[in-house]
Amino acid sequence: MNPIYSEYIQFLKDKTNDEKLNILSEGFYWLDRSIIKCYDTEGKIHKVLRIHIDDELNISVTDYKGKSKDKEFIIESWEGTIERNKNNLQELEDESIGLIKSSIEKYDGYSPIIFTSSGKDSELTRYLVNKSLELKSIIDIKPIIMFNNTSMDCADTYKMIKTIPDCITINPKEGFYQKIKTVGIPTRHHRWCCSLYKEGATKEYLDDNEKYLFFYGMRNEESSTRSGYQDEKFDDRWGDRKWMGILPIRKWTEEDVWLYTFKENIIFNPKYRNGYARVGCHIVCPYYTKSTWVLDKYFYSKMYNRFQKFLKEDFLERQLWCAMNCTEKEYPLCWNGGAIRPEPTEEVIQECASYKNIEIDIAKKYFNRVCACGSKITKNDVIAMNMKFLGRDIEQYLCKKCLRKFLNISVDQWKNYIKDFKESECALF
């Protein structure tokens, strides 16, 4: 549940020109997985509108199916919802502050560090840690504030970070666009970005021999993985380091976070006002979807267009028709999650044949090949090497390992063959 601000309302109106949106105003409505909701003064949720986004990133709005027939209810304002939940919010605050205080006592001598992404959860955590230290009257403990720069956050995030007093920014050795040239685009099946720009960068920056107490803004509600987290979190990747993580807000819901943020007037990243549920990593996170991309295209068009240009170049350079079973046009909608379909369409095969300047029958041989050893073959160069050495009419293909063994060639010889074939402009490659 994310509050709907005037910026997001204007975005919807600009994209749809739909009169149904005229009922919306800031201070009353919430967005929950493409459904616009509101509370009545009795605390009952009313589902009002549904947002639809197609593959062209066009938006449409419809009345929610099963929309309440009761048109007489009084919509509750955010202030009203805060008042209705004030006891729960106080209990959450007390429990979180209690955990922070007891953790500092338990891990006496550890230096407290608060990680921030400028997101609402990490900023709430920072607020609660500072409040805990004030209530405990500990003036000699000053938490270290750290921000891991992925090099791919938006201007609103960087501006927000600059407002945080004494915040340490850990900058990467290589920016995102430099790194993907060697390791590829991060996807849901090949996700290296967090381990490099966050966990890895933190381990490199901090002293292995120091004792650190990390305060994280992670919540159980966020994912199935995080649902099992407890108050303390030790990462096995830390090895024998004297480090410990504390999760003060793990029991809070997203709605709790927002209501408390409003109640305490905690400053938050303005990116949320544009309709984003998350503010980190921007554009390139493999867990974002169309609901985020359509916002990127509208609010951050320069960054969006740069990444789209890179996706097109990546698709053509790696000839991803065969690995993804999709067309160049479809790739921006599936780059983050693997093959778009189990079998290629005629359009996919035709586009591949046209790009490689080969016949359709030859192009078909690049798709869905399995080695005799059972390994799936998705690399174009491996398919091409099969046809180059074993003939274009072969039926049984070999994976790179098996083909190298069959041809009795080394890895360097394999690379040199491919290099030579490409330089001679062989259409198979």
Residues 241 and 343 in one domain: no
Q: Tell me: do 95 and 47 sit in the same domain.
A: no
CATH number, domain with residue 228: 3.40.50.620
pLDDT digits (tens, 9 = 90+) for 349-374: 999 999 999 999 999 988 888 898 99
| CA atoms of 213 and 125, how far apart (whole Å) | 13
The answer to whether position 211 is within a domain reads: yes
Whether 296 maps to a domain, the answer reads no
Last residue of a domain, one of 271, 295, 325: 271
Last residue of a domain, one of 76, 107, 136: 76
Q: 105 with 39, same domain?
A: no
The SS3 of residue 38 is strand
Question: For residue 70, what are its two tokens?
Answer: 């009761």
- The closest alpha carbon to 286, from 368, 185, 165, 214, belongs to 185
Co-location of 90 and 63 in the same domain = no
Q: Is position 285 within any domain? A: no
Phi, psi of 401, rounded to the nearest 5 degrees: -60, -45
- In three-state secondary structure terms, 160 is helix
Residue 399, number of CB atoms within 10 A of its CB? 21
Q: Give yes or no: residues 219 and 352 share one domain.
A: no
Query: pLDDT tens for residues 248-287?
Result: 999 999 999 999 999 999 999 999 999 999 998 888 999 8
| Mean pLDDT comparison of 3-12, 134-143, 157-166, 418-427, highest-scoring range | 3-12
Residue 280 lies in a domain: no
The H-assigned helical ranges of 120-175 are: 120-135, 155-162
Residue 305 lies in a domain: no
In tens, the pLDDT along 68-127 reads: 555 678 999 999 999 999 999 999 999 999 999 999 999 999 999 999 999 999 999 999
Residues 92 and 43 in one domain: no
Check pLDDT > 90 for residue 429: no
- Under 8 Å between Cβ of 263 and 82: yes
Question: Residue 153 pLDDT more than 60?
Answer: yes
At 257, the amino acid letter reads: V
Question: In one letter, which amino acid is 382?
Answer: V
Number of domains in the chain: 3
pLDDT at 368: 85
3-state secondary structure of 72: coil
Q: Give the chain's mean pLDDT.
A: 92
Please give the sequence-ordered ranges of beta strands (E in DSSP) within 320-377, or none if there are none.
Answer: 369-370, 376-377
- 37 and 92 in a common domain: no
| Contact between 96 and 248 (Cβ < 8 Å) | yes
Per-residue 3-state assignment (H helix, E strand, C coil) for 204-265: HHCCCCCCEEEECCCCHHHCCCHHHCCCEECCHHHCCCCEEEECCCCCCCHHHHHHHHHHHC
Domain assignment present for 210: yes
- In the prediction, which pLDDT does 192 show? 86
Asked if residue 300 is part of any domain, the answer here is no
Residues 260 and 150 placed together within one structural domain of the fold: yes
66 and 103 together in one domain: no
173 and 72 within one domain:
no
Do 128 and 201 reside in the same domain of the chain? yes
**Angle at which helices 380-390 and 400-407 pack, to 10 degrees?**
30
Residue 344 near residue 321 (C-beta atoms within 8 A): yes
Domain holding 131, by residue range, is 85-271
Q: Judge whether 343 lies within some domain.
A: yes
Looking at 50, 76, 102, the residue that finishes a domain is 76
Percentage of residues of the chain with pLDDT beyond 70: 97
91 plus 215 within the same structural domain? yes
Q: Judge whether 122 and 116 are in contact, CB under 8 Å.
A: yes
CA distance 284 to 129: 31
For residue 18, what pLDDT band results from cuts at 50, 70 and 90? Answer: very high
Nearest to 258 by CA among 219, 287, 226, 232: 219
- Tokens coding 34: 């493409």
